[in-house]
Chain A
Amino acid sequence: MFVKRTALRYVVVVISALAIGGATIYLLLRYISAGAVYFAVPSGTVDPLMVIIEMGLALFIIYMGVKFKNYLAIALAVVQAALVVYLETTYSGSLHVVNNLFIDQFSIIMALIIGIIGSLIAVYSVRYMETYHHHHPEVRDRQRTFFFVIFIFLAAMFGLVFSNNLMWVFFFWEITTITSFLLIGYAETEEATKNAFLALVMNLLGGIAFVAALIILAATEPLSGGIDLAGVLSSGDAAVILLPAALIGFAGITKAALMPFSSWLLGAMVAPTPVSALLHSSTMVKAGVYILVRFAPVFAGTLTGFSIGLVGALTFVLASAIAISQSNAKRVLAYSTIANLGLIAACAGVGTYMLVWAAILLIIFHAIAKALLFLGTGMIEHRIGSRDIEDMEGLIVRMPRMAVMMFIGMAGMFLAPFGMLISKWAAIEAFVQAPFGLIFIALLAYGSAVTVFFWAKWMGKLVAVTREQERVERGVLEEPWAPLYILTGLVVAATLLFPLISSVLIEPYVLAIYGATARMAQANVAIMLLMMALLLVLPISFMLFKRSAKHLPAYMGGRPATADRHFAGSLGLTREAQTRNYYLNDYFGEAKLFRPGLAVCTALIIISWILAGVAL
């Protein structure tokens, strides 16, 4: 019965995934060279419906707040609802947009990320959730709700990236807050509930800032362009839109879990792993950076944008550094996500055309590689029963295929010639040319050095060839490998095809916004491809070495040793040598670095508001 239901669910989810993925590819082909296209969707009935749903959601939060005695959430929900009501009643005249929906190359990129990667994660989830409940019999089986919420989540993300009406953007923004709240709290344990509320409260703060921005925009409609996104971005009066832009940027910071708000994304790890994959790669945090990158032209050249960018750059350095001290694989991935989102925010805040180009590249590569790494970690955890990096020692022997995929995913995050590195490189080149870019370059230089350390030592654990270990790649409850294979292929393909992605999607967008665009020099593209080709060919050399070499045990200070690292100790005892990675807690510990980051980033955000207010 159980299995049958899973099989049926699998079919339904796969069909939905194919439909969604197919639809996004259709959008790509249909609008690839169309530029920005606007759709005059009538909003007569939609708008009131959205407000009703928003009020319903507020009531739901209040209900949950009462149930779990979280009064802060109630207070924030009430404030937000009150602001929405105020906005609707006071400025009902200014809340109209001719073109409610639009599509441009940046939307298409986001849609591809949501549609393809999000769908792959959904497909993976079906078997994963079955195994999850098998491992966690204490958790109530609410899979029907789970998958319902996931598809709502994806739908809301689509709404968010295609809306030109900022009221609509806000509506979908709030839906993602609620859906992530529901998903994080899935296990219904005390910890899950607590962390779900943490995410909710922080995102409600962002939501309130968002409504405040809408109120300002509505109140200054003739100057600001009102709630028409395109109108706001092309507004002649930059000073007027700077404050709402800073507030919406703040909402983006909360959603992207940048430094003062990073704790919610870490707390969100109590959710089943596919949820983390979803939050980190194709939804939630990507909404945060999406809005920041959208508003980058407004931030460009302003001190407000500069301080938002600094929040991002500091987040990049500190989160990367903290990642060194973590041995829980999901926490390492989470900190690396936060770091990379910080880098994207840094690019968006400074906002020159080259940086926006780099930021969009970062979004793409991060989405693919991180989805692969999370899903891989979930699979490993189900097989070896741990998500600790130390326990992944010798995975290349135990789960060779999974280890190779994780290896490619990690390479995708920090090594040349893979995607993330292309973007980092582009960011360095762009910051050199930006005013005061040196501060960012300094932070970037330290941050990227730190990145090498924590990824390489994890890779090292994976590739350690351990003797006499059993292969555990296959098991009774089998997760589907297809999403992982596809994602691995995408990591490689995105790197090989990035000149194409850049020239058909990113460059036209940047060109349309800034009138100038960045691109990578032909010679460098050739060298990247050469490196990639070498990487793909090199493994063949394995066969070369297989023939001749003689095997000996590792050196144990001259003691007699065996191949599986046992050596003759004193008193005739045989001992086993064990190794553990460095975590350098005294230097890079969470306790050491989080507080300063919290203080400085909070200050920078407040400064960004003051600077924007002064400009007004």
Chain B
Amino acid sequence: MTWAWLIGAVLFLILAPLAGGLIAGIDRKITARMQGRVGPPLLQPFYDVGKLFEKERVVVTTAQNFYVLAYLIFIALAGALFFAGGDLLLTIFAFTLAHVFLVLGAYAVHSPYSHIGAERELIQVMAYEPMVILAAVGLYMVANSFYVADIAAVAVPAILYLPGVFLGLAIILTIKLRKSPFDISTSHHAHQEIVKGITTEFSGPTLGTIEIAHWYENIFLLGLVYLFFAWNPVIGVVAVVLTYLVEIFVDNTTARVRWQAALKTGWFAALIGIVNLAILSYMMIGGA
């Protein structure tokens, strides 16, 4: 093992919040343009988070801060593991752990709105988790390793083997990026039918922490997208940008759906992935 993995991890820990915040700013700009507005300055997400950290610390229960801190730490750890080239499955499970902490924070405050948000968040986890695992399995089948470093170093274009898996991943990405139509547990539009869902009771620095964790997470997700195109870095970056643009477009053109639809869609996406993998494994055993 070389020092390269440590550099990857440290770079992620330092740069991901910056890149994540920047992407959020671009996202808001593009969203505004799509809606015929001018939109806030590019750096607005940073101003917002900065402002949150200046606010008074208000809690319903002290315990909530603990869960949110754990959420941030494990998201950052998982992302660092990913960019260090570590085991993809372990990364995914660390992410699940992080999310469970966020959900527990919402339960801990014992508030009706965040309770419903927490339940919906869990339904979302249930909806996207199969597809995320299958994406890892698909990348394994191409690279013959679960290590991100090995997968990124594969010389063949993974996307050509895994179009269905990628499509499935793109679908659940909408859930993971907290974008419409699957933003059922919380979203960036403040007052929805469950107020602010899972984050209802989080304010000030705590909410700022969640925002930063979300930036970390988005960078990880885009990294996951990149892996499908890793054989050519230029195409990889272009693909990541295009995927994100499509997500913004979907966000702006759809209305929020019920949890049933989110669950069914997530599980259907996994089914697309399975069909893709079945064909791939058939080719590997029998055909080719």
Does A461 contact B94, Cβ atoms closer than 8 Å? Answer: no
Q: How far is the CA of A579 from the CA of B111 in the complex (A)?
A: 8
User: Does A448 reach chain B (CB closer than 8 Å)?
Assistant: yes
Kindly specify which of B63-71, B156-164, B177-185, B233-241 makes contact with the partner chain. Answer: B63-71
Q: Is A415 an interface residue (CB 8 A)?
A: yes
Kindly list chain A residues whose C-beta atoms are within 8 Å of the C-beta of B114. 554
Jot down 30 A-B pairs with beta carbons below 8 A, ordered by A: A393-B110, A394-B110, A415-B97, A416-B93, A416-B96, A421-B93, A449-B125, A452-B96, A453-B126, A459-B107, A460-B107, A463-B108, A464-B107, A464-B108, A531-B74, A531-B77, A538-B66, A541-B65, A542-B63, A545-B62, A550-B57, A550-B58, A552-B59, A553-B60, A554-B110, A554-B112, A555-B111, A555-B195, A556-B112, A565-B112
Please indicate the chain A residues that have their CB under 8 angstroms from the CB of B54 in the complex. Answer: none
- Contact status of A545 and B270, CB under 8 A, knowing A415-B97, A421-B93, A551-B59: no
Of B63, B104, B130, chain A has the most CB atoms within 10 Å of the CB of: B130
Is B61 within 8 A of A438, CB to CB?
no
CB distance from A61 to the nearest CB of B (A): 44
Complex contacts, B66 vs chain A, CB 8 Å: 538-539, 541-542, 545
Is B122 located at the chain interface by the 8 A CB criterion?
A: yes
Which chain A positions have C-beta within 8 A of B113?
554-555, 557
Q: Are the C-beta atoms of B267 and A527 separated by less than 8 Å? A: no
Chain B contact residues: helix, strand, loop or mixed: helix
| A528 CA to B97 CA, complexed, in Å | 12
Q: For residue B267, which residues in chain A have a CB less than 8 angstroms away from its CB?
A: 446
Pairwise interchain contact B109-A554, C-beta atoms closer than 8 A: yes
Q: Would you give the 0/1 interface string for A337-355, flagging 1 where the beta carbon is closer than 8 Å to chain B?
A: 0000000000000000000
Within B48-96, which residues are at the interface with A (CB < 8 Å)? Answer: 56-63, 65-66, 69-70, 73-74, 77, 81, 86-87, 89-90, 93-94, 96
A548 on the B face (CB < 8 A): yes
Contact across chains for A541 and B126 when beta carbons are under 8 A apart: no
The reply on B28 being an interface residue by CB < 8 A is no
Q: In the complex, are the beta carbons of B201 and A554 less than 8 A apart?
A: yes
User: B192 interface residue, CB < 8 Å from A?
Assistant: no
Contact between B104 and A549, CB atoms less than 8 A apart: no
Interface residues of B in 112-132 (CB under 8 A from A): 112-116, 118-119, 122-123, 125-131
A91 interface residue (CB < 8 Å to B): no
Which positions in B face A, CB cutoff 8 Å? Answer: 1, 56-63, 65-66, 69-70, 73-74, 77, 81, 86-87, 89-90, 93-94, 96-97, 100, 103-104, 106-116, 118-119, 122-123, 125-131, 133-134, 137, 140-141, 146, 195, 200-201, 260, 263, 267, 270, 274, 277-278, 281, 285
> Given the complex, which residues of A lie within 8 Å of B93, measured CB to CB?
415-416, 421, 425
Contacts of B126 on A, CB cut-off 8 Å? 449-450, 452-453
Among candidates B81, B87, B125, B263, residue contacting A452 with C-beta atoms closer than 8 Å:
B125
For residue A394, which residue of chain B has the nearest CB? B110
Q: Which of A428, A456, A546, A551 contacts B100 (CB 8 A)?
A: A456
Residues of A within 8 A of B118 (CB): 457, 460
B155 nearest CB across to chain A (Å): 21
* From B97, B134, B200, residue with most partner A Cβ within 10 Å: B97
| Interface of A: prevailing SS | helix
With A and B bound together, what is the CA distance between A394 and B111 in angstroms?
12
- The answer to whether B110 touches A425, judged by C-beta atoms less than 8 angstroms apart, is no
**Further contacts, 19 of them, CB under 8 A, given A442-B274, A579-B115:** A432-B141, A442-B270, A446-B267, A448-B133, A453-B123, A456-B103, A456-B122, A456-B125, A460-B103, A463-B104, A463-B107, A463-B108, A465-B110, A523-B1, A538-B70, A545-B65, A554-B201, A557-B195, A582-B123
Question: Is B104 touching A524 in the complex (CB atoms < 8 A)?
Answer: no
* B-chain residues with CB within 8 Å of residue A587 when the two chains form the complex: 260, 263
A573 within 8 Å of B by Cβ?
A: no
